[in-house]
Structure 1
Amino acid sequence: MSTARGLLVAGTTSDAGKSVVTSALCRALARRGIRVAPFKAQNMSNNSMVVADPDGRAAEIGRAQWVQALAARAEPETAMNPVLLKPGGDRTSHVVLRGRPSGRLRAGEFAGGRATLTEAAHAALAELRSRYDVVVCEGAGGVAEINLRAHDYVNMGLARAADLPVVVVGDIDRGGVFAALYGSLALLDPADQALVAGFVINKFRGDAALLDPGLKTLEDLTGRPVLGVLPWQRDLWLDSEDSLALTAREADAAAAPALRVAVVMLPRISNFTDVDALCLEPDLRVDFVTDPRPLASADVVVLPGTRATLADLEWLRSRGLDTAITGHARRGGTVLGLCGGCQMLGRTIRDPDGVEGSAGRTAAGLGLLDLETVFTRDKVLRLPSGKWRGVPVGGYEIHHGRVRTGRGEAFPGGLRDGSVYGTMWHGSLEHDAFRGAWLAAAAEHAGRDGGRFGRVSFAAAREARLDLLADLVEEHLDMDAVLRLIAEGPPVLPTVRGELR
């Protein structure tokens, strides 16, 4: 392909499968020798990753785009996710613009305060298109968010600006997929509809022949093909973009685990992909909990990261989880705090400048580690590495809180005191040897055999899933049609009018 082309993967709703289809197409195109890059103009997620920008400075992008870059066999960079919104509450988001903090966006500004963000997104896409053969773009939310269309630069606004063909994905497992696909198209204005080139149905279970009458009717009514039906796959899992799918992993836990792990599902949980590597360990049962009772039977308690440490610490106390966690530690049970969770395990947390809310606020931590946290306006973005007990380990840091450690054993990115561990490094458990060594220590605390952990390669498991995704689209999507859309742009198709017009 001599000129840079692209495609927008949109959805009928959030979590319809846009990220999965985008990742799958990136890997399928990369396997064909095409230089491909992922792109999401704006991601709203507290799950992010640190990357190294060309200037050598650490920067931040959404975790989903980082994984999609791996799928594309491309180097992750901020142009792939120029705008990252990190929800700080129901009405405020922290803005990360080209990898750097850039203030806050309040709910009232969503309609008219996005000119700068739009310009950054369009410039980033143009930059990628100048350097890659193909850019596979992912939309956000639902494609027919008509209340936001006037200032949209993520879905049809982006497609219009870049003349991108659009494929709309619907999740049949939710029910109502035909109405969702037809209705999404019908609600768009004619100029937007002209760019919608086809549909993809995701997560189908059963006999595909049962779908044929519905597929034909949808194609007859819209004049657009269903490019494929992707089957529901039990073992299909990717580093998730948000926390919608967290509880679904409980059912996959081992029947007779060597260790039981309870992950506290904080209301403002962030970077929860830290525990993905634990979910891959065959001898662990990993449950996500919101009340104290499951902690009584757990061997390991994990406090993950959070976008609002002080608020989630209050939540812990309101539910009695603080007492359950400290009691678990005093009985010799293992506790691991990750980033915000690490800060909660300390003695005090201070917020003199109001980074997380009211200026001058101070709260007592759980007192399980001798460390103090002070929030500052400048964000720490780092890609650190080191060793623990002779085992190499690395990770990434994304936080405002500066942690000062006191008495205890040094632990990568933090501190250890007996069976309590705290680290500010995200991603450390993805390092297989380190994960195995830490789980062996946790098993020792529980009086169990710890020699069977860390044998699963997290990186290999991720690669296998990306290849599985590519296999799925190669088998179940009309890839020739997809390649034509990318090369030729959107075809001329009829306008569909809904009953409400």
Structure 2
Amino acid sequence: MSGALLVCGTHSDAGKSVVVAGICRWLAREGVRVAPFKAQNMALNSFVTREGAEIGRAQAAQAAAARVEPEAAMNPVLLKPSAGERTQVVVLGRPYATASAASYQDMKPELLPVVLGALEGLRRRFEAVVCEGAGSPAEINLRESDLANMGLAQAAGLPVVLVGDIDRGGLFASLYGTLALLSPRDRELVRGFVVNKFRGDAAILAPGLAELSRRTGRPFLGTLPFAPGIGLDGEDSLALREAGEGAPGGDVLRVAVVRLGRMSNFTDLDPLLFEPGVAVRFTRSAAEVLDADLAVVPGTKATVEDLGGLRAAGLDRALAARARRGLPTLGLCGGYQMLGRRIVDGVEGEVPEAEGLGLLPVETVFEPEKVLARPSGRAPLFGDEEVSGYEIHHGRTARLGGEPLFVTREGGGEGCRVGAVLGTSWHGVLECDGFRRALLGWVAGVRGLGWEPGDFSFAALREERLERLGDLVAEHLDRDALLGIMEGAGRREGAGALP
């Protein structure tokens, strides 16, 4: 086959990402060489490709669904909200500019050729490209300079499928209203609807679907059932999940994750959500942080600003009390920097220098060039387990004492440990099953708990979730209609008007 499709949603978190991933996995299983694409993504959860490019974490997961290696062209523009009202603009995997909301709108005309070039390159190399929109295509205040929704569809001749989330209510009004707010020219590109997150009696839903199809002239391509636990890596705080399950006959490890204002790459904690006998809570409560078996200070896109917020909430005192009592604490990337003595930031924040929490003997100096890498090594302090991850940071952190947490493949030291306080610049290390279990076993030992690790592979679990997404598409969407839309022309005569 040869074709492309743009999946839009009535609002953020309607299910665009999972629908794109499901279609990618279904097509890949059918032997189609397929790639995902999102022209413009706003996300603080990002990923580093093998060539050292930064893209949205969801696009990396969609590439895994498509069974291809993620690359910069799959997410040519990534927006990362930073301190104050500023946003870092990442283009083709590299920092490009820092912009306000207004100045970014002025930047879009120069980014459109980059977006279209990336998409065209994918279409030349793959048989199918499944594109994901951003937010809603009915954001009429942004339509003139739109890069990701109907502006992209018009420029690239893409047919559009509109996804609505029935679980939130108001499905029919959302679908009809979105279509009604589009211009007649844009409306012609919308070829059908998909219902997402349905639970209930399909017979009761059917008359509404038929009536909306009659009023709009668009078919429903299928109804995807509510399927908890199979979502992709989240893009923003709307996707935060918490979990906890007691292990049979064992104790529960309580993990408190400090909820920062510009928290980034909180997907680092995803493996803990599936570990039996581990309860994870994202919190701003100093009492909960002090009481937890393991406290985690995650990454952030505004290290100094979030450090100030942490202090204002009294969390600095809770973390200091944990260190005095020998209670395990882990800092990841920006969280690691906060645990140190000093942060010099002339790049991301508005405050040039700040005193850290002083719990680790490290100092961080920010540089304009961002570190983007895929390091690996071992953890000599935790059974010498193999560990790998990825780095995304402007800060260069120097260890002035303590022990390195990891030894790199090249023989260097990375991260720091003093007593029960640990820190690392590497994201994704908890996905390494051996290291994660060794770390949690150490926490249980420090706390005197009878916790037993699980035996699942996180990589296998992620693959199983992608397979389930492919199953949902194969079983609940009209595959022939979907293929026809992808292979046919984007515009359909007579489809623009609404009664």
CA contact (8 A) 2:258 2:296 kept: yes
Q: Hey, what does 2:460 align to over in structure 1?
A: 460
Q: Determine helix, strand or coil for the equivalent of 1:316.
A: helix
- Which residue of 336, 349, 355 corresponds with 2:348? 355
Q: Hey, what does 1:52 align to over in structure 2?
A: 50
Give ranges in structure 1 of 5+ residues lacking alignment.
none
**For residue 443 of structure 2, what is the amino acid of its counterpart?**
A
Moved more, 285-294 or 19-28: 285-294
CA contact (8 A) 1:198 1:224 kept: yes
- Which residue of 369, 385, 395 corresponds with 2:376? 385
- Which residue of 227, 238, 247 corresponds with 1:233? 227
C-alpha separation in 2, matches of 1:428 and 1:255: 23
Give ranges in structure 2 of 5+ residues lacking alignment.
407-413
**For residue 482 of structure 1, what is the amino acid of its counterpart?**
L
Q: Hey, what does 2:473 align to over in structure 1?
A: 473
C-alpha separation in 1, matches of 2:323 and 2:206: 57
Residues 431-481 of structure 1 deviation map (CA, whole Å, 9 limit, x = unaligned): 11111111111111111245x326221100100000000111111111111
Asked if 1:99 corresponds to 2:99, the answer is: no
Residues 322-365 of structure 1 deviation map (CA, whole Å, 9 limit, x = unaligned): 111111222221100000000011111112x343224xx22111
Q: Determine helix, strand or coil for the equivalent of 2:348.
A: coil
Q: Hey, what does 1:483 align to over in structure 2?
A: 483
CA contact (8 A) 1:111 1:151 kept: yes
Q: CA, structure 1 residues 176+224, in 2 after alignment: closer, same or farther (shift >3 Å)?
A: same
**Any residues of structure 2 matched to 1:310-329 within 5 Å, and which?**
310-329=304-323
C-alpha separation in 1, matches of 2:307 and 2:10: 36
What is the CA distance between 1:41 and its match in structure 2? 0.4
Q: Determine helix, strand or coil for the equivalent of 1:496.
A: coil
Moved more, 231-240 or 455-464: 231-240
What is the CA distance between 1:228 and its match in structure 2? 1.0
Q: Hey, what does 2:126 align to over in structure 1?
A: 132
C-alpha separation in 2, matches of 1:169 and 1:97: 27
CA contact (8 A) 1:335 1:419 kept: yes
Q: Hey, what does 1:374 align to over in structure 2?
A: 365
Q: Hey, what does 1:31 align to over in structure 2?
A: 29
**For residue 12 of structure 1, what is the amino acid of its counterpart?**
T
**For residue 426 of structure 1, what is the amino acid of its counterpart?**
H
Residues 206-261 of structure 1 deviation map (CA, whole Å, 9 limit, x = unaligned): 11211112111110100101111111112323211222121xx33x4214652100
**For residue 173 of structure 1, what is the amino acid of its counterpart?**
D
Q: Determine helix, strand or coil for the equivalent of 1:112.
A: helix
- Which residue of 179, 203, 217 corresponds with 1:209? 203
Moved more, 336-345 or 286-295: 286-295
C-alpha separation in 2, matches of 1:378 and 1:295: 34
Q: CA, structure 1 residues 5+187, in 2 after alignment: closer, same or farther (shift >3 Å)?
A: same
- Which residue of 242, 254, 257 corresponds with 2:236? 242
Moved more, 327-336 or 263-272: 327-336
Residues 295-338 of structure 1 deviation map (CA, whole Å, 9 limit, x = unaligned): 24310001100000000000011011111111122222110000
Q: Hey, what does 1:12 align to over in structure 2?
A: 10
- Scaled by the length of structure 1, the TM-score of the pair is 0.94
C-alpha separation in 1, matches of 2:497 and 2:448: 66
- Two-structure CA RMSD over aligned residues (Å): 1.4
C-alpha separation in 1, matches of 2:454 and 2:350: 40
C-alpha separation in 2, matches of 1:302 and 1:421: 9
CA contact (8 A) 2:246 2:278 kept: no
Asked if 1:402 corresponds to 2:396, the answer is: yes
What is the CA distance between 1:493 and its match in structure 2? 4.4
C-alpha separation in 1, matches of 2:361 and 2:16: 44
**Any residues of structure 2 matched to 1:64-75 within 5 Å, and which?**
64-75=58-69
What is the CA distance between 1:79 and its match in structure 2? 0.5
C-alpha separation in 2, matches of 1:430 and 1:245: 19
C-alpha separation in 2, matches of 1:59 and 1:8: 24
Moved over 4 A (4+): none
Q: Determine helix, strand or coil for the equivalent of 1:74.
A: coil
What is the CA distance between 1:204 and its match in structure 2? 1.1
**Any residues of structure 2 matched to 1:30-429 within 5 Å, and which?**
30-53=28-51, 58-89=52-83, 91-246=85-240, 249-250=241-242, 252-255=243-246, 257-351=251-345, 353-358=346-351, 361-389=352-380, 390-412=384-406, 413-429=414-430
What is the CA distance between 1:167 and its match in structure 2? 0.3
C-alpha separation in 2, matches of 1:395 and 1:235: 24
Q: Determine helix, strand or coil for the equivalent of 2:106.
A: coil
- Scaled by the length of structure 2, the TM-score of the pair is 0.95
CA contact (8 A) 1:95 1:105 kept: yes
Q: How many residues align?
A: 485
Q: CA, structure 1 residues 244+231, in 2 after alignment: closer, same or farther (shift >3 Å)?
A: same
Residues 87-110 of structure 1 deviation map (CA, whole Å, 9 limit, x = unaligned): 114632101110111111221124
CA contact (8 A) 1:271 1:426 kept: yes
C-alpha separation in 1, matches of 2:301 and 2:255: 22
C-alpha separation in 2, matches of 1:323 and 1:130: 56
